[in-house]
Every structure is written in structure tokens, then in C-alpha cells.
Structure 1
Amino acid sequence: MSIKVENVSKLYNTQKAVQNVSFEIEKGEVVGLLGPNGSGKSTLMKIITGFITSFQGDVLIEGVSVKKNLLAIQKNIGYLPESNPLYQEMYVLEYLTFVAEVHKIPKKEIKNVLDAVGLTQEAHKQIYKLSKGYKQRVGLAAALIHNPKILILDEPTTGLDPNQLIEIRDLIRQLGENKIIILSTHIMQEVEAVCDRVLILKNGEIVADENLKKLKEQQMQIIEVEFDFQIEKRFFNQLPDLQSLTSLGGAVWELTFDTKEDMRSKVFDFATENGLKIIQLNTKNKNLESLFTELTN
């Protein structure tokens, strides 16, 4: 199973929601879709699912265009939209039975899905009586019930408490071993916790496509330090693994180290040996959050 997005663009009147977006995703990948509000994330997901059918370019699922055989493709897609539309007056089991019948799925599969998303104890409650977190689980169960090969999740962890969050993270990681999962969220920690790869959108365009493991390996350690008075740049040559340094004005310096070792103790030792006092010291490691800020500001 694979997804290939080819030069996809979408206009709303004269406003470009998505512009010439291209990428490929293979089975076994969990891909995080990041971007500020209005960057085109939801539009792109709706195009891939076939919810939006009028657009330029093409989306190929296992080599088949969504423009040519949409119904067959949608049978392989599970979609949890951000709005999570549910029939609030229905009972959880009743609603999932209805969804299973739509997909022509045996009723025995409902129990498996209830167990997987942690809804077994809530099966006989009406949906409107559930907390927001449990409603999210109902939406996720509906997206999973037909065992799709592709799972597209728009803000799936909204409203979950910390324990529920851990359970859903584990479930997504487990599902991602044999499916394609596209996960949209505003929470960087979610992407770092469950995703293999991240696509960052800005103004409808992809500005970054990064493998998260490689991104972590490439992280530089950045320390911002302020001393009690100005010192000359040459003194910093005493610090090991110093990649670069930048004066931020006055007695404030930004030090970049090419090492995974925590260099704060080395900076403290450096200050002591040179008769300096540290006024403040902050770490600013270049992680996914800083990359996102750098590319989307």
C-alpha cells in the first residue's frame, strides 16, 4: 500500500489552500502533518480521503487515481476528522454497529475495536453523555472498524487525559506497523512520540519533509548564557565541542555544541575558571518545535 500525491493544488475562489504539493508515503510509515492554522492541512487530508474531489493534480493510492476509482479507494481509508461528527443520541455500541453494517463488517469485529480503543466499559452509554476524550475514542473506533490500510487522523488526541493519551499513542504506534497513518496535530510532542516522519506546511506548500530519527541525530545543543560582564570571543576556545558562537549583545552569548553530552556543567566550569558569574543560562536545543517555528514564522 502506498500514497502518492502529485502536484496537488486547491483553490477556494481566488485563495490558494494547497499549492503544488507532492510526496509519497509507504506502508509502515506514521507521518505527522504540521502547520499553522490555515496552512492547508485539513484541505490536503480531505483531498486524500476523497471528501474533496475538485482539485488540480492527482492522488494515487496503490497506483490508482482517486479521480478514477474513488469508492474502491475509500474502502481502504479510515478517517477521523477534526470535527468528529457523531450521532450523539445513539449508544456507543449501537453507533458502531451501524458503522459496521455500512461497511458490511461482521458484528464480532466491533468487540475487537471497542477493546483496542478502550471503550468496552462505555459501550452501553449514549454518546452525548461521554467526555470529550471518550467521544474522540468513538470517532477513532469508527475509523478503524473496517480495518483500513490507510488511517488519516485530524487532531486525534484532542480532549484526552494523560492516561488516555498514552494508550492512544501506543495504539497509533501499533497500528502504524502495518498501515499508513497520517496524523495532523498542533502538539509537537505527539508527533515526536508516534511519528516516523514529519511534513510541515506553510501557506499551502510543503516547507519541510524530515525523517524524525535523522532530525534527532542531527540536533545541535544550543546554550544561551549571560555573564556578569563582557568577555572576548577568543576565551571560548577553551570549551570542548564548540561548533559556533554568536554574540547576542552585551554579555549574552549563544553557544552551539556538536555533542549529545549536557554541556551546561562545562559552561559553569568555564565561568568559574575565568572568574565569571553566570546571570542566566538557558538551553535552546534545535528540535522539531524550533524547526517548526523557524520555518513557519
Structure 2
Amino acid sequence: MFNEFTKKVNTKNYINLNLSITVLLLFIIFAQNKYMSIEVKNITKTYGEQKALDNVSFSVNKGEIVGFLGPNGAGKSTLMKILTTYLTSDEGSASVNGFDVSSAQKSVQQSVGYLPEHNPLYLDLYVREYLEFSADVHKTDKSRIEEVITLTGLTPECHKKIGELSKGYRQRVGLATALLHNPDVLILDEPTTGLDPNQLVEIRELIKNIGKDKTVFLSTHIMQEVEAICDRIIIINKGQIVEDALIADLGKNLEKVFREKTK
């Protein structure tokens, strides 16, 4: 009888131990997902005979500002379009804020603010009118419009049609649109292309300030921009990741690192 009692106690302890381990593992998985804004695993994308992305893997933590660098045609825009659900990969998986880009597209879109390389704007609309239209698309409260106008420095120009704005202010409209639904992650594809030196400084400062509260993943060809804004770089060349490092750990000229990794 004593042996039966001991057996029952041991069985109960074994079950409790298994439950504790299961709970611990679930907590670890949850904690990892909680602090991971972007997760890319073995992504491959092919156009005809050309591999635009070849088994690409990396992750971006919450609150990081990461520069995504590479020569023209290296695969930067393709990956960004996959992360924002505009394209699907041939192989591999990716998630944004824990939402799978293939099976939870709507949730990904709600989590991401995206500024594509060629900023698509309705030039005949006034700035505020365009933002009201975008708020309707996102089903966002229109009180948010004044917040993003102030945040992006659009106040002096918000009475104009978008077609009357300078390139710098059009980029601000694009950023305001990306921020309108208050996403946790910003994905910016060459956000400072074509800007003059003054506009460059203004947009860089804007992105840096936004990055205090959000995860920012941006592509650019301007090394000074990366050094001024980013915490970390990921370099892609011919569809493959060739460098992933904190800028502080590189210990040498970023332009030199880029040339070495993309020869």
C-alpha cells in the first residue's frame, strides 16, 4: 500500500514538473516574440532565372533603428515588399510583430507603416485631404491627422496641394501617411532619395525622433545617413546577407566596410 501511495505521489510530481516546464517554454517563446519586431527565416525569392533573395535570415528587435544596405539590385526592395505583404516569397517565412506575412496579412499591414521607394501620392489632393483619405482607408480616427501633421513638420505647407510641394515635403507627407495608424514598425525604402542637404538633415532628424518610440527598418545608399540614424546595419549583396553588426562594433569606416562586403 505504501508503494502504491509513493507511486501516486511520484506520478503527481512528474505531471507537475512537466506542466512547469511547458509553461516555462511557452513563456520563453512569448518573451522572444514580444521583443522581436521583424523575423526573417530562410527567405528565397526568384524572378525567372535570377535569385533576388537567396536563403535570407535575420531578426530586428523592438526599438532598433536598422539600416538595410546593398548595391542596386541586391534585393532590398524585394525583401521590404515581402515584409509589407506586397510580394510573397518562394521559400521561407517572415513575421512582423509576431504576425506571419503569408497567413496574417491584415494584421501585418496594421502593424507596419510603409514608405516605398517611389512615394505614391495623389498630387491633385491637398495635404490634409489626402491624409483624411488615408485615415478612411486605415479606419483611423481623424483626430490623429493633426498629430502627424505636427510630428512631421507639415504645418506650414498643409494648406497646399501635394503637387505644389517640394520633394522634401512630399516625403514628409509619405512619412505622415505611414505614421497615421500609429504602427509599431516603420519600413522605409530610401526615404531621403533626391533631397537637398537641408532636407536630408530635416528628414534624418525626423526619422531619428520617430525611432525613439518605434522600430525602424530603412534602406539607403547614403553612409552618413546610416551613421547618423542607425544602431545597426545589415548588408545584402546578390541576394545574400554579407554583414549584420552594430555600428559601434565595426570600429572602422562604414563606407569601407560596405565596399569590402559588396565587391
TM-score range, shorter chain: 0.7 to 0.9
Q: Map Cα deviations across residues 7-63 of structure 1 (whole Å, 9 max, x no partner).
A: 000000111000000001011100001100000000010011111024310002233
1:202-254 Cα deviation digits (max 9, x unpaired): 10001000100112xx33xxxxxxxxxxxxxxxxxxxxxxxxxxxxxxxxxxx
Separation of aligned partners in 2, 1:54 and 1:30? 24
Who is 2:157 aligned against?
122
Q: Which structure 1 segments of 5+ residues have no match?
A: 220-286
Q: 1:99 corresponds to which residue?
A: 134
| CA distance in 1 between partners of 2:188 and 2:37 (Å) | 17
Which structure has the highest strand share of the two? 1
Q: Which runs of structure 2 are paired with 1:59-78 in the superposition (5 Å)?
A: 59-78=94-113
Tell me the residue number matched to 1:293: 259
Question: Does the alignment pair 1:86 with 2:112?
Answer: no
Q: Where in structure 2 are there 5+ consecutive unaligned residues? A: 1-35
**Contact residue 5 and residue 58 of structure 1 kept, 8 A:** yes
Match of 2:80 among 45, 52, 66: 45
Q: Is the 8 A contact 2:188 2:216 kept in 1?
A: yes
Q: Distance in 2 between matches of 1:54 and 1:9?
A: 6
- Taking the aligned partners of 1:162 and 1:112, their CA distance within structure 2 comes to 26
Give the partner amino acid of 2:50.
Answer: Q
Please tell me the root mean square deviation across aligned C-alpha atoms, in Å: 1.2
Q: In the aligned structure 1, how far is the partner of 2:50 from the partner of 2:195?
A: 34
Structure scoring higher RCO (CA < 8 A, sep ≥ 6) equals 2
Tell me which structure has the larger Cα radius of gyration: 1
Please identify which structure carries the higher helix content: 2
Find the counterpart in structure 2 of residue 25 from structure 1: 60
- Post-superposition shift, 1:117? 1.1
Count of matched residue pairs: 228
When normalised by structure 1's length, the TM-score is: 0.74
Asked if 2 retains the 8 angstrom alpha-carbon contact of 1:134 and 1:160, the reply is no
Match of 1:162 among 197, 200, 203: 197
| Aligned residue identity for 1:294 | E
- Aligned-partner Cα distance in 1 for 2:157–2:213: 28
Q: How does 1:160-239 map to 2 (within 5 A)?
A: 160-215=195-250, 218-219=251-252
Q: Are the aligned partners of 1:33 and 1:184 in contact in 2 as well (CA < 8 Å)? A: yes
